């Protein structure tokens, strides 16, 4: 931390703060290492903490733009402190900055973090930072709450995935079977259709009846409604009967009606022109 207002020597220093703005230890790099933190040059820092020795060392050096920057032999700042109460099993390591209204540019080109060899330390001292007690206790057992939660999570995934897959497979099979039945019924209807009749498209009949609008209804029967259809392309007017049943349920009645009407010839009866079996409709 760089701030001369909290027991710090100057604006060019390195300070160690723990839960406070007041530095526990400070060092001026311009005195010991001839480093100016405000020079604008790239600087490499090493922060080493050895928990068994309760020792934190900070090293600074100007970054070598060509070769690998060498770590200085002597630390810029060295402090005896026990950080084990502040270093948890899971925590975040990062950077923060504040200029208190002024303007500065801080660039972190790269960084790395390594940890190893931590031993739990129990201290009898009430001091919040520096600890002189060197007694060690046996390693504490790692809490199993995290591992148990992870195990339950993995178990839930292992059970739910096959169930979801089975439901998806059943739904896919049901939709496929339903579509296959519709296609089969349509093919059977085409093979059994009365010869000489035209197969109209659903789009054509839909347009001729204005979307089967209620104003075009000219008759109602037990098996469906009859609509007045006007074909703009040919200028003819026809009657379109729309069955109440879908292509699978009313296939027998539909074929029977087609067969009968196709054979009828009378001046008071309209002649059958064709049929349609699309979108699950019988027309």
Whose tokens are 């339903």? That residue is 178
Instruction: Pick the range with the lowest mean pLDDT from 34-43, 94-103, 141-150, 198-207.
Output: 141-150
For residues 180-207, average pLDDT: 71
pTM of the complete model beyond 0.75:
no
Question: Do the bridges between strand 55-62 and strand 25-27 make them parallel or antiparallel, or are there none, so unpaired?
Answer: unpaired
Higher pLDDT among residues 246 and 279, named by residue: 279
pLDDT digits (tens, 9 = 90+) for 211-226: 999 999 999 887 789 9
pLDDT band, very low/low/confident/very high, at 189 (cuts 50, 70, 90): low
Least confident residue range of 39-48, 49-58, 174-183: 174-183
Query: Could you tell me which of 142, 133, 141 has the C-alpha nearest to residue 52?
Result: 133
d(C-alpha 232, C-alpha 253), whole Å: 30
Q: What is the DSSP string of 261-279?
A: HHH---TTSPPP-EE---T
Q: DSSP secondary structure string, 128-139?
A: SS------B-PP
Does the pLDDT value for residue 164 go beyond 80? Answer: yes
**Has residue 132 got a pLDDT over 50?**
no
64 against 239, higher pLDDT: 239
CATH code for residues 1-138:
2.60.40.4220
Tell me which of 5 and 125 has the higher pLDDT: 5
Predicted confidence at residue 70, as pLDDT, reads 87
Domain ranges of the chain: 1-138, 141-183, 193-275
- Using an 8 Å Cβ cutoff, are 23 and 9 in contact? no
Hey, which residues does 50 pair with through a beta bridge?
55
CATH number of the domain located at residue range(s) 193-275 in this protein: 3.30.200.20
Mean pLDDT, to the nearest integer, of 90-97? 78
User: What is the per-residue pLDDT for 10?
Assistant: 77
Q: pLDDT (tens digit, 9 = 90+) per residue, 45-86?
A: 989 988 888 898 999 888 888 878 888 889 988 999 988 888
At residue 187, the pLDDT reads 56
Query: How many beta carbons lie within 10 A of that of residue 208, not counting itself?
Result: 23
Q: Does 38 count as an annotated binding residue?
A: no
Residue-wise pLDDT for 11-28, tens only, equals 788 888 888 878 888 888
Q: What is the mean pLDDT of the chain?
A: 77
């Amino acid at each position: 931390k760089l701030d001369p207002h909290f027991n710090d020597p100057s604006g060019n220093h390195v300070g160690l703060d723990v839960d406070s703005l007041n530095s526990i230890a400070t060092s001026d790099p311009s005195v010991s290492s001839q480093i100016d933190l405000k020079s604008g040059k790239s600087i490499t820092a090493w922060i080493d903490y050895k928990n068994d020795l309760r020792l934190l060392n900070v090293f600074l050096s100007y970054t070598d733009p060509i070769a690998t920057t060498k770590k200085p032999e002597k630390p810029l700042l060295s402090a005896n402190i026990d950080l084990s109460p502040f270093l948890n099993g899971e925590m975040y390591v990062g950077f923060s900055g504040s200029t208190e209204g002024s303007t500065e540019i801080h660039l972190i080109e790269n960084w790395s973090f390594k940890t190893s060899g931590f031993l739990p330390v129990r201290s009898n001292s009430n001091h919040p930072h520096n600890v002189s007690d060197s007694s060690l206790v046996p390693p504490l057992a790692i809490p199993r709450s995290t591992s148990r939660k992870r195990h339950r999570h993995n178990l839930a995934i292992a059970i739910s995935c096959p169930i979801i897959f089975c439901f998806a497979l059943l739904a896919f099979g049901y939709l496929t079977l339903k579509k296959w039945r519709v296609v089969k019924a349509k093919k059977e209807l085409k093979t059994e259709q009365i010869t000489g009749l035209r197969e109209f498209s659903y789009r054509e009949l839909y347009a001729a009846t204005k979307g089967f609008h209620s104003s075009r209804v000219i008759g109602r029967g037990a098996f469906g409604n009859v609509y007045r259809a006007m074909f703009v392309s040919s200028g003819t007017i026809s009657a379109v009967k729309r069955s109440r049943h879908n292509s699978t349920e009313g296939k027998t009645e539909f074929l029977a009606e087609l067969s009968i009407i196709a054979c009828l010839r009378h001046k008071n009866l309209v002649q059958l022109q064709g049929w349609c079996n699309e979108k699950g409709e019988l027309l």
